A and B are shown apart, each in its own frame.
Chain A
């Protein structure tokens, strides 16, 4: 008993007093003190036990807060988008960019000229629309629209080897386009084509979803249109293969470059 009292008062073995432990539990310590305390708690079970009791009080206080408000409807989409960008950055070591080529900085430096040209092009496009002859279809804005679609999902694509190529696929139920990110595929040479295959629940065969042609080997993001709007019914798995056999009607999952689990 005396040992415990001495312990709690901080007189034993360099332990902090219970007031410091309470302050730690209440997040009242500065970062340096907090780290020091965490190190101590990992080695001192009586202090850890004491903090555990204080943390339970905290958990109880948190649960006593009445639920009166709900966050905005876009919260889920924002979190998922942040995860998607983070996953991309982890894999390539650089922030994600959608549809912007390596010349982007060069073009951005030519801002004023670019601005004037954009203005002229806008007028030309508006004129064409006015005359009923223009149709929309810029890949960049469509890719942005897909990525920002609240129904869009990002699927991680993995190869069978742990250090093999990988990538991700952005798709959305009801949309007729996809965004495929291929990373570490060597060679990802110009002129190559990759085929995306989709398998549905209970169906042993795969359906050919799209063919992605790589024009620029330096570009890892590829935006592609599908033949029709994507149906989510029973989708379970996606495969990416190299299109080396023109007449292939079914992929071999064992030799597929990448595979992923679909969740729409």
Chain B
């Protein structure tokens, strides 16, 4: 399949194209629930690069990231019937699942092979009970700006928590700070970042097909 069939996550400026991509993802997931493996193959062609990139960013080990990627697509096939388009975007679903699987793999690696969670728990956790409705082009742009304006220490805890899977206690140990300080720092940072998604202007701009 051609490269142009991949969803372009690096291009935040074309909401109509993004909506067309979302529609295609929904169609493919529907076909997968009917046992259509060709739909899975197309979905893999479209999403294996973003999934693998996120997995590599988290586990920092390409062979392990490839295992995570395989795991994610296997789960997508098994749990396609759990995906409800009205409850969230496919992009959020698959990337949330990738995050769960990668963090799980990372912890499994740290604990020398012991199983941390059941594999299908990742699917359930990505599906219930609070799926994300997806990120619009405008929100993505605003999030990037908000992240850039966070104080260095706050950005550091966001990265440690999201990309490195650190618990509050682990972050406190690494940073040499009290757990309470880390908790407060992370809470403040995330609260600032969530304002991007609570901004009525962002919702309005996304509805009217904002072009930056």
Residues of chain A having any CB pair with chain B under 8 Å: 18-19, 22-23, 25-28, 31, 34-35, 38, 41-42, 48-49, 51-72, 75-76, 78-80, 82-83, 86, 153-154, 156, 261, 263
Given contacts A61-B143, A64-B147, 18 further A-B contacts (CB under 8 A): A19-B186, A22-B161, A26-B162, A27-B99, A27-B103, A34-B125, A54-B194, A56-B133, A58-B96, A59-B95, A60-B135, A62-B95, A63-B50, A66-B53, A75-B48, A76-B44, A80-B37, A86-B74
- Give the contacting residue for B135; candidates A31, A56, A156; CB below 8 A: A56
Q: Knowing A75-B48, A79-B73 touch, does A55 contact B131 (C-beta < 8 A)?
A: yes
Are the C-beta atoms of A54 and B190 separated by less than 8 Å? yes
Are the C-beta atoms of A57 and B38 separated by less than 8 Å? no
A154 to B134, CA, bound (A): 33
Q: Is B9 an interface residue (CB 8 A)?
A: yes
Q: Is B204 an interface residue (CB 8 A)?
A: no
| Complex interface: chain B residues within 8 A of A26 (CB) | 161-162
Closest CB of chain A to B13's CB: distance in Å?
14
A72 to B78, CA, bound (A): 22
A67 to B48, CA, bound (A): 10
What are 30 A-B pairs at a CB distance below 8 A?
A23-B161, A27-B103, A28-B166, A48-B130, A51-B130, A52-B133, A55-B132, A56-B134, A56-B197, A59-B92, A59-B135, A60-B135, A61-B147, A61-B163, A62-B98, A62-B99, A63-B9, A63-B135, A65-B54, A69-B49, A71-B48, A71-B52, A75-B48, A75-B69, A76-B44, A80-B37, A83-B40, A153-B37, A263-B36, A263-B37
Are the C-beta atoms of A69 and B56 separated by less than 8 Å? yes
Are the C-beta atoms of A156 and B70 separated by less than 8 Å? no
Are the C-beta atoms of B147 and A67 separated by less than 8 Å? no
| Complex interface: chain B residues within 8 A of A70 (CB) | 48-49, 52
A/B pair count, beta carbons within 8 Å: 181
Closest to A155 in B: B37
Closest to A35 in B: B121
Count, chain B residues at interface, CB 8 A: 73
Are the C-beta atoms of A61 and B117 separated by less than 8 Å? no
Are the C-beta atoms of A67 and B168 separated by less than 8 Å? no
Are the C-beta atoms of B190 and A42 separated by less than 8 Å? no
Complex A-B, nearest 9 residue pairs according to Cβ-Cβ distance, in ascending order: A62-B95, A51-B130, A59-B92, A60-B143, A55-B132, A41-B129, A71-B52, A52-B130, A53-B194
Closest CB of chain A to B141's CB: distance in Å?
10
Are the C-beta atoms of A55 and B128 separated by less than 8 Å? no
Closest CB of chain B to A165's CB: distance in Å?
17
Binary flags per residue of B171-208, CB closer than 8 Å to A gives 1, else 0? 00000000000010011001101101110000000000
A63 to B96, CA, bound (A): 11
Q: Knowing A55-B96, A68-B53 touch, does A79 contact B70 (C-beta < 8 A)?
A: yes
Are the C-beta atoms of A82 and B70 separated by less than 8 Å? yes
Closest CB of chain A to B167's CB: distance in Å?
5
- Give the contacting residue for A38; candidates B41, B128, B132, B139; CB below 8 A: B128
- Give the contacting residue for B91; candidates A55, A59, A78, A82; CB below 8 A: A59
Q: Is B4 an interface residue (CB 8 A)?
A: no
Q: Knowing A64-B144, A67-B49, A69-B62 touch, does A56 contact B44 (C-beta < 8 A)?
A: no
- Give the contacting residue for B183; candidates A19, A80, A154; CB below 8 A: A19
Q: Is B28 an interface residue (CB 8 A)?
A: no
Are the C-beta atoms of B140 and A75 separated by less than 8 Å? no
Q: Knowing A41-B129, A55-B131, A59-B95 touch, does A154 contact B69 (C-beta < 8 A)?
A: no
A61 to B50, CA, bound (A): 12
Closest CB of chain B to A129's CB: distance in Å?
38
Closest CB of chain B to A181's CB: distance in Å?
16
Q: Is B77 an interface residue (CB 8 A)?
A: yes
Are the C-beta atoms of A57 and B52 separated by less than 8 Å? no
| Complex interface: chain A residues within 8 A of B98 (CB) | 62
| Complex interface: chain A residues within 8 A of B41 (CB) | 76, 80
| Complex interface: chain B residues within 8 A of A72 (CB) | 66
The A-contacting residues of B in range 29-63, CB under 8 angstroms, are 35-38, 40-41, 44-45, 48-50, 52-54, 56-57, 62
Q: Is B165 an interface residue (CB 8 A)?
A: yes
Closest to A263 in B: B38
Closest CB of chain A to B186's CB: distance in Å?
6
Are the C-beta atoms of A28 and B165 separated by less than 8 Å? yes
